[in-house]
């Protein structure tokens, strides 16, 4: 399949490389040309714009930072909509706004282009290991045609509804995972302030109901003060603020999500936006010293 890729950051690069490794012919474009190098070395073709990528592809895959960037890359000048022929499909793997996903899908449908919003849950390491989870919104027949693309980096791919539904499911994933991350941070913080060895407490929790992927993956980083290598705190803050915006539009109260969002906002405001989610424990530590 002729696949184009736009957005070659920490997550986008392994996603794109997996498509090439699966035998898809690839074209790519990035705002920073150096980000294309690994893909070009793997045999992809360099393009001059997002529109140029779309002109070379049956399927265009995007993985950009936020909804504003996605709108620009798709609907802006020299965007995907300018180069895509009728029948082309856009697969967006970024995390963003359900409303924006629906707006873009509607605009593309008017020119005969299909869209799936297909945000992923997992890290760049999960992408390299092809162990991501993909949540998809869009038409059922388009989803079925795109399975060979959607499954290249994932162990779990599910369609959850029409356009925008993938982003809603990703918001649910953000709520559950980040509230659990906060719970891990609070548990280890309590253990340490109570005079216990938090590593031993973490090990004691391993066999009980508290054991989770968040405890498994992030407790060690919290205990050792290693707060790099995972998803940046600024991206957690961005994604959770999207969640709260959607909740506000629906008139919903999400009190735990609001608390965790404020803690991530505090990390960003203190200059720690490039640290990963495990740095959440430092917010509690600072509050405890106040």
Q: pLDDT for 8-50, tens place per residue?
A: 998 999 999 999 999 998 999 998 989 999 999 999 999 999 9
* Distance from C-alpha of 169 to C-alpha of 136, rounded to nearest angstrom: 8
Strand (E) or helix (H) holding 132 = strand 132-137
* 41/152 same-domain check: yes
CB 82 within 8 A of CB 60: no
Q: What percent of the chain has pLDDT over 90?
A: 86
Residue pair 101/164 in contact (Cβ under 8 Å)? The answer is yes
Question: How many domains does the structure of the chain reveal?
Answer: 2
Q: What is the pLDDT of residues 197-227, one digit of tens each?
A: 999 999 999 889 999 989 998 898 899 888 7
Residue 207: predicted pLDDT: 83
Distance CA 70, CA 122 (A): 20
Q: Are residues 134 and 175 in the same domain?
A: no
Regarding whether 94 and 174 lie in a shared domain, the answer is no
Q: What is the mean pLDDT of the chain?
A: 94
Same domain as 239, residue 284? yes
Closest CA to 155 of 113, 122, 108: 122
CATH number at residue 7: 3.40.50.720
DSSP letter, residue 208: S
pLDDT digits (tens, 9 = 90+) for 222-253: 998 887 667 889 999 999 999 999 999 999 99
List pLDDT tens digits, range 129-157.
999 999 999 999 999 999 999 999 999 99
Q: Are residues 12 and 127 in the same domain?
A: yes
């Amino acid at each position: 399949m002729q696949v184009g890729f736009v957005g070659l950051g920490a997550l986008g690069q392994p996603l794109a490389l997996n498509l090439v490794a699966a035998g898809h012919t690839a074209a790519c474009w990035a705002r920073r040309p150096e980000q294309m190098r690994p893909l070009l070395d793997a045999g992809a073709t360099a393009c001059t714009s997002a529109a140029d990528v779309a002109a070379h592809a049956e399927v265009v895959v995007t993985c950009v930072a936020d909804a504003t960037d996605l709108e620009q890359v798709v609907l802006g000048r020299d965007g995907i909509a300018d180069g895509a022929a009728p029948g082309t499909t856009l697969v967006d793997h970024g995390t963003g706004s359900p409303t924006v996903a629906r707006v873009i899908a509607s605009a593309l449908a008017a020119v005969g282009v299909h869209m799936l919003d297909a945000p992923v849950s997992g890290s760049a390491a999960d992408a390299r290991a092809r162990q991501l989870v993909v949540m998809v919104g869009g038409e059922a027949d388009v989803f079925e045609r795109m399975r060979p693309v959607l499954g290249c980096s994932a162990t779990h791919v599910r369609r959850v509804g029409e356009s925008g539904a993938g982003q809603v499911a990703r918001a649910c994933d953000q709520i559950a995972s980040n509230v659990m991350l906060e719970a891990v941070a609070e548990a280890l913080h309590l253990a340490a302030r109570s005079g216990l060895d938090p590593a031993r407490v973490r090990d004691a929790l391993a066999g009980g109901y508290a054991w989770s992927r968040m405890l498994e993956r992030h407790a060690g980083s919290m205990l050792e003060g290693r707060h790099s290598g995972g998803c940046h705190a600024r991206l957690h803050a961005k994604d959770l603020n999207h969640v709260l915006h959607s909740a506000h539009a629906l008139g919903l109260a999400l009190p735990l999500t609001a608390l965790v969002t404020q803690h991530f906002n505090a990390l960003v405001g203190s200059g720690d936006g490039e640290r990963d989610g495990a740095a959440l424990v430092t917010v509690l530590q600072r509050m405890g010293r106040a």
